[in-house]
Amino acid sequence: MKKTILCLALLGAMGAAQAVMAQDYDDRWYIDGSAGFNFQDNKRENYNAPFGVIGVGKPLSPNWALELNFNFQNPRERNPDGDSGMRWRQYGVSLDALYHFRTEGRNWNPYARVGLGWQHSEEDFFDGFNGPLVATTRKTNNFAANVGAGLEANYGRYGIRTEIGARYDADSNSANAPNKSYFVDLLASVGVTVALGPEPIKAVEPAPPPPAPVATCADKDSDGDGVNDCNDKCPNTPAGTTVGPDGCPVPVTIDLRGVNFDFDKSKLRPDAIEILNQAIEVLKKYPELKVEVAGHTDSIGTDAYNQKLSERRAKAVYDYLTSNGVDAGRLIGPHGYGKTRPIAPNTNPDGTDNPEGRAKNRRTELNVQN
């Protein structure tokens, strides 16, 4: 009963060693040492005794580790007639495998141990078989195996353990127990581990790739008119059509203000040449544009006369454009509209002549057709 209480107390003491840090895999070699109490098999006729273990270990994975351990205990013989001074010295070595039951988010974890090894025994006893009693020592080496379970708390380089277990000792030549072919001792211990070498560098996980962009109507221009599909109120506009901000076709006139003519003349004035040169540059920049060349007059004169005069004025502009690199295939006309499309009043409200308005009406225009 006392054995059970002591073992449970050792294990329970480790429950307070929890920390919030996550458990990481540390593959450094480490040394381990522990001290505890060896509850001797009753057949040995020994008092229970303290024992010690020292060893070296190596983690193989986040859960598995291997250890090479050396143990020592020196129990005293239990003699009903008093202390005889007889002792049973025990030394051993074992190769142990440990499995840790790790849980993310805590730094203490239970583990299980299983190992195989060799146990050396030196048993003192009195030999009186061939005469008087004589103190002598029996020495033997035997196969051994051990199992155990414990808790281990990790604090970076250092660790703390508590463990209970049992060791099987295949000793079949004991003087105190000649009819016993093996012994099973119970073990309870506390210990420490010390990792060797520098702290391992944690691998940095690569950042996840950015999500693929999701195309929306704001990223699409199905008819290629320069207005995205969200704002395009006139989808499927023919290629090359001039459109407004809503994607719908708009009438466009290339501004030729200043290309005016003297009264009753169709000859280009010098100030008109400069404006036409600017119009030529626009046409070259937008080779898909097609324009109508249109001529107009003021209201003085007959309709027939003004019609002919407007056609001559349109022809003068047409010829100038084609002679300066504009493809005739892009020009529609020349067309004359006479005095039918004034942009300014030819007369004042009182019926008198308006020379400024008539001068504005003596003009030509380039009307975009696509």
DSSP for 153-186, written as a single string: EEETTEEEEEEEEEEEE-----SS-TT-S-EEEE
**Predicted pLDDT of residue 184:** 95
Distance CA 307, CA 295 (A): 9
**180 and 310 share one domain:** no
**190 and 257 share one domain:** no
Q: Which domain holds residue 159?
A: 2-195
**271 and 338 share one domain:** yes
**154 and 24 share one domain:** yes
Distance CA 188, CA 35 (A): 8
Q: Residues 302-359: pLDDT tens digits? A: 999 889 988 988 898 899 889 998 898 988 889 999 999 888 898 898 989 898 888 8
**Predicted pLDDT of residue 106:** 85
| Pairing mode of beta strands 252-254, 134-155 | unpaired
**146 and 267 share one domain:** no
Q: Model confidence at 232, in pLDDT bands (50, 70, 90)?
A: confident
Residue 100: give its domain's CATH number: 2.40.160.20
Question: Which is more confident, 3 or 60?
Answer: 60
Residues 276-283 have a mean pLDDT of: 85
Distance CA 90, CA 197 (A): 33
Distance CA 51, CA 71 (A): 7
**186 and 264 share one domain:** no
**260 and 183 share one domain:** no
**Predicted pLDDT of residue 132:** 59
**160 and 289 share one domain:** no
Residue 311: give its domain's CATH number: 3.30.1330.60
**25 and 167 share one domain:** yes
C-alpha closest to that of 295 among 254, 335, 260: 335
Q: Residues 112-158: pLDDT tens digits? A: 999 999 999 988 877 655 655 567 888 999 999 999 999 999 888 99
On whether the pTM is more than 0.85, the answer is no
Instruction: Tell me the two tokens of residue 269.
Output: 């004035």
Q: Is the pLDDT of residue 258 over 80?
A: no
Where among 195, 221, 236 does a domain terminate? 195
Q: Model confidence at 260, in pLDDT bands (50, 70, 90)?
A: low
Q: Residues 20-60: pLDDT tens digits? A: 333 457 889 999 999 999 999 988 888 899 999 999 999 99
239 within a domain of the structure (yes/no): no
Residues 269-276 have a mean pLDDT of: 81
Instruction: Tell me the two tokens of residue 142.
Output: 């035997």
Counted domains in the chain: 2
273 within a domain of the structure (yes/no): yes
Where among 157, 173, 195 does a domain terminate? 195
**38 and 112 share one domain:** yes
133 within a domain of the structure (yes/no): yes
Residues 6+ apart with CB under 8 A from 130: none
122 within a domain of the structure (yes/no): yes
Q: Residues 182-231: pLDDT tens digits? A: 999 999 999 999 999 888 777 677 888 888 888 888 778 888 877 888 88
Where among 195, 212, 234 does a domain terminate? 195
26 within a domain of the structure (yes/no): yes
Q: What is the mean pLDDT of the chain?
A: 83
**168 and 255 share one domain:** no
Residue in the block written with tokens 């381990």: 32
How many Cβ atoms are within 10 Å of 287's Cβ, its own excluded? 10
Measured in degrees and rounded to the nearest 5, phi and psi for residue 308 equal: -65, -40
34 within a domain of the structure (yes/no): yes
Q: Model confidence at 18, in pLDDT bands (50, 70, 90)?
A: very low
**156 and 275 share one domain:** no
Distance CA 76, CA 45 (A): 9
Q: What is the DSSP letter of 43?
A: G
Alpha-carbon dihedral sign for residues 316, 319, 322, 324: negative
332 within a domain of the structure (yes/no): yes
125 within a domain of the structure (yes/no): yes
Q: Is the pLDDT of residue 249 over 50?
A: yes
**Predicted pLDDT of residue 78:** 77
166 neighbors 185 (Cβ within 8 angstroms):
yes
Instruction: Tell me the two tokens of residue 345.
Output: 């009043």
**Predicted pLDDT of residue 186:** 96
Distance CA 57, CA 28 (A): 9
**Predicted pLDDT of residue 277:** 86
